[in-house]
Amino acid sequence: MQLDAKIPGGPLAQKWDRHRFELKLVNPANKRKFEIIVVGTGLAGGSASASLAELGYNVKTFCIQDSPRRAHSIAAQGGINAAKNYTNEGDSIWRLFYDTVKGGDFRSREANVYRLAQVSNNIIDQCVAQGVPFARDYGGLLANRSFGGSQVQRTFYARGQTGQQLLLGAYSALMRQVGTGKVKMFPRREMLDVVAINGKARGIVARNLITGEIETHTGDAVVLCTGGYGNVYFLSTNAMASNVTAAFRAYKKGAYFANPCFTQIHPTCIPVHGDYQSKLTLMSESLRNDGRVWVPKNTGDKRRPQRIPEPERDYYLENKYPSFGNLVPRDVASRNAKEQCDMDKGVGETGLAVYLDFEDAIKRDGKEVIEKKYGNLFQMYEKITAENPYETPMMIYPAIHYTMGGLWVDYNLMSTIDGLFVLGEANFSDHGANRLGASALMQGLADGYFVLPYTIGGYLAGTPLEEITTGHSAFKESVTSVNDSVEKLLSINGKRTVDDFHKQLGHIMWDYCGMARNDEGLKKAKGMIQQLRAEFQENVLVPGSKKDFNQSLERAGRVADFLEFGELMIIDALSRQESCGGHFNEAYQTAENEALRDDENFCHVSAWEFTGKDKEPVLNKEELKFDNVELTQRSYK
């Protein structure tokens, strides 16, 4: 299929304005005739549900947790970017756009990123009006701080809990609409299928996680805001319930999956400490504003950090990248940490950690200032590790954090299934091969507050939609297939638990499709995943019954999808014979070990099409055109 991104014509800065004018409108009286399904209640889903309901649409919103306030956007710490230029440093929409395209290693769509930068300022206005308690200066105006990949301070923050506060803002707007009856909320539901009728998304099949009931819901459009797939690695900074199931099942119904191998490894997480570990905890990138990253100069130096004198420390980021220093983008910081540990300079019991040291910042600014900025993060670190970061440097190591890949969408955020829209981390559109810090919150809210409410109107106004009910054969077929797969999982009755399989899959993905990749390893991993998937089908042990609150069964369904999806990531990584951003193929690097792109052959989005169970997916390419920025080797020196 020829992919059409539907990018409006005209100069970059006028595309969105022009498109908004050209989109057909649904008049206010007619909006109430439409019913829209929104799956997920993070920043994208919460803001979309509330905004659509405010416009007059009837909205049915689903979430997997007991309350929409718990979606994993809540865990974002550091901040949200906007091109306000309140700091008078020369920031602009154009600069935010340029930094984001460059940070993504020139693998994102210019028009989408420009629009994101344009609406970034509206987001801050909206959130302040909702009562989000952003940090402020003494004069009562908003404060800013720096994040990686940028030389201006454009990040707005609420202590180390920015995601929580923005999500609670969107959640309060959503709750207001639930109160008015415009949104009907369905918590503790897991979407297990998209129902397409005559090529258009017209509903979903979901499992009620309390009763186990398989439910069907119709709608005039379906909006997926179901987050990323980082948990394919088992250990990640994602929440335990984060999964690929909704996106993957949409893929199986005809939505293309774009750039699945683009995963982000966050440089500053608390290192792994045992087999029983269930997740990794992020320490905000904002810490790199004041913390200095270093390792001992000499290999195998096992002295306590305080015992290592200044001349024997290697502040490798500051030395190697003098202009960005500790604030290089995440992919660069992560690869450098790995490089140091591979050279046997890593610290801590496992040797898989580097120091993030606040000693100089505390000397310079005083403990109180540092505590005010990062107090809750320091406290979290101490709870987990039992070490006090005011006195001993933090130990950090990279971990899977975010996935830039996701369902392919056009400029309207619509997937290759008509009427199926995809927002936030679940789509692929804005971050290219690497996301800059404080940009995920920006994208989730941009999509939900300021993009979808316009573009979905254009779809609904211009599309004839016939009356349907859940009695339609497409719903019946979908329910049968969902029921069959649930029963299959319960009937295998093997010898290994779901988590056991998940951990093994995670190891394969981390070892062969993690921070650095090579063709040989990827090919090996592909075989290993196929074998593991076959064993899962014969040997998994899922206790309990289907008509019950059964958390093992929930996880089994998600891991079954991860076992198929992991292979798709590998296929994508193998087909992209270049390095870019978070995808680092060892065969393609510069003399200084930076990612080496191949713009002649790989300046495209890889959108994968499902062709059937156990069949190779088909690659569709969307060529990326850069009319406004020059493709260069990224340099942060």
Partner 1 sequence: MTKTINLTLKVWRQKGQKKKGRLETYKAVDISTDMSFLEMIDVINEQLTLEGKEPIAFDHDCREGICGMCGAVVNGRPHGPEKGTTLCQLHMRHFSNNDTIVIEPWRSRAFPVIKDLAVERSALDRMIQAGGFISVNTGGAQDANAIPVSQEAAELAMDAAACIGCGACVAACPNASAMLFLSAKVSQLALFPQGKPEAAKRAISMVREMDMLGFGNCTNETECEAECPKEISITNIARLNREFYKAGFFSAEK
Indicate which residues carry an active-site annotation: 330
Which residue intervals of 414-550 are DSSP H helices?
440-445, 452-461, 473-492, 498-512, 519-539
Among 12, 36, 38, 74, binds partner 1 (CB under 8 A): 74
Quote the least distance from Cβ 268 to partner 1, whole Å.
14
For position 380 contacting partner 1 by CB under 8 A, the verdict is yes
Quote the least distance from Cβ 136 to partner 1, whole Å.
5
Tokens of 372: 């005010």
For position 279 contacting partner 1 by CB under 8 A, the verdict is yes
Quote the least distance from Cβ 125 to partner 1, whole Å.
4
- Taking the least distance from each CB to partner 1, the nearer of 152 and 168 is 168
For position 138 contacting partner 1 by CB under 8 A, the verdict is yes
Residue at 388: amino acid letter: N
- Taking the least distance from each CB to partner 1, the nearer of 73 and 218 is 73
Among 90, 274, 311, 464, binds partner 1 (CB under 8 A): 274
Quote the least distance from Cβ 295 to partner 1, whole Å.
22
Among 18, 32, 33, 136, binds partner 1 (CB under 8 A): 136
Torsion 166-450-625-1 (CA) sign: positive
Interface with partner 1 in residues 514-573 (CB under 8 A): 541, 543-544, 548-549, 551-552
CA dihedral angle for residue 411, residue 413, residue 416, residue 419, rounded to 10 degrees: -120
Quote the least distance from Cβ 459 to partner 1, whole Å.
19
Q: Is 331 helix (H, G, I), strand (E, B) or coil?
A: helix
Which residues, listed in sequence order, are joined to residue 227 by a DSSP beta bridge? none
Contacts of 608 (CB under 8 A, 6+ apart): 251, 256, 257, 258, 260, 568, 571, 572, 617, 618, 619, 620
- Taking the least distance from each CB to partner 1, the nearer of 175 and 573 is 175
Largest CA distance in the chain: 75
Q: What is the CB neighbour count within 10 angstroms for residue 251? A: 27
Among 148, 187, 329, 424, binds partner 1 (CB under 8 A): 187
Rg (CA), the chain: 24
Q: Can you tell me which residue has the tokens 């559109």?
A: 429
For position 124 contacting partner 1 by CB under 8 A, the verdict is yes
Under a CB-based contact definition with an 8 Å cutoff, are residues 582 and 516 in contact? no
For position 23 contacting partner 1 by CB under 8 A, the verdict is no
Quote the least distance from Cβ 158 to partner 1, whole Å.
6
Quote the least distance from Cβ 238 to partner 1, whole Å.
9
- Taking the least distance from each CB to partner 1, the nearer of 384 and 587 is 384
Among 184, 273, 313, 524, binds partner 1 (CB under 8 A): 273
Quote the least distance from Cβ 399 to partner 1, whole Å.
12
Quote the least distance from Cβ 46 to partner 1, whole Å.
12
Interface with partner 1 in residues 219-238 (CB under 8 A): none
**Side-chain half-sphere of 568: how many Cα atoms within 13 Å?**
34
- Measuring CA to CA, how many Å separate 457 from each of 85, 87, 221, 222, 419? 32, 37, 10, 13, 11
Which residue intervals of 292-394 are DSSP H helices?
316-320, 330-342, 359-365, 367-385
Interface with partner 1 in residues 417-476 (CB under 8 A): 449-450, 453
Cα–Cα distance between 576 and 601 in angstroms, integer?
9
Stretch binding partner 1 (CB under 8 A), from 66-74, 309-317, 457-465, 607-615 = 66-74
- Taking the least distance from each CB to partner 1, the nearer of 314 and 371 is 371
Beta strands 35-39 and 221-224 are parallel
Tokens of 370: 């540092």
For position 582 contacting partner 1 by CB under 8 A, the verdict is no
- Measuring CA to CA, how many Å separate 196 from each of 110, 168, 376? 31, 33, 46
- Taking the least distance from each CB to partner 1, the nearer of 187 and 617 is 187
For position 184 contacting partner 1 by CB under 8 A, the verdict is no
Quote the least distance from Cβ 383 to partner 1, whole Å.
5
Among 133, 322, 366, 527, binds partner 1 (CB under 8 A): 133
For position 21 contacting partner 1 by CB under 8 A, the verdict is no
Contacts of 459 (CB under 8 A, 6+ apart): 221, 412, 414, 418, 419, 421
Stretch binding partner 1 (CB under 8 A), from 154-162, 520-528, 594-602, 620-628 = 154-162
Interface with partner 1 in residues 239-258 (CB under 8 A): 239-241
Quote the least distance from Cβ 549 to partner 1, whole Å.
4
Cα–Cα distance between 277 and 352 in angstroms, integer?
16
Task: Classify residue 232 as exposed, middle or buried by CB count within 10 Å of its CB (0-12, 13-18, 19+).
Answer: buried
For position 87 contacting partner 1 by CB under 8 A, the verdict is no
Q: Can you tell me which residue has the tokens 């088909």?
A: 618
Write the interaction track for partner 1 spanning residues 286-325; mark x where CB under 8 A is met and - where it is not.
----------------------------------------
Q: Can you tell me which residue has the tokens 């590790």?
A: 385
For position 17 contacting partner 1 by CB under 8 A, the verdict is no
Among 129, 363, 473, 630, binds partner 1 (CB under 8 A): 129
Under a CB-based contact definition with an 8 Å cutoff, are residues 222 and 203 in contact? yes
Cα–Cα distance between 6 and 12 in angstroms, integer?
14
Q: Can you tell me which residue has the tokens 């290592």?
A: 308
Among 12, 16, 47, 508, binds partner 1 (CB under 8 A): 47
| DSSP-assigned states of every residue in 168-227 | HHHHHHHHHHHHHTSEEEE-SEEEEEEEEETTEEEEEEEEETTT--EEEEE-SEEEE---
Q: Is 156 helix (H, G, I), strand (E, B) or coil?
A: strand
Under a CB-based contact definition with an 8 Å cutoff, are residues 250 and 229 in contact? no
Interface with partner 1 in residues 480-519 (CB under 8 A): 495, 497, 499-500
- Taking the least distance from each CB to partner 1, the nearer of 199 and 543 is 543
Interface with partner 1 in residues 92-121 (CB under 8 A): none
- Taking the least distance from each CB to partner 1, the nearer of 108 and 144 is 144
Stretch binding partner 1 (CB under 8 A), from 272-280, 509-517, 518-526, 598-606 = 272-280
Stretch binding partner 1 (CB under 8 A), from 163-171, 327-335, 355-363, 462-470 = 163-171
Stretch binding partner 1 (CB under 8 A), from 161-169, 290-298, 321-329, 420-428 = 161-169
Instruction: Give residue 181's Cα distance to chain centre.
Output: 31
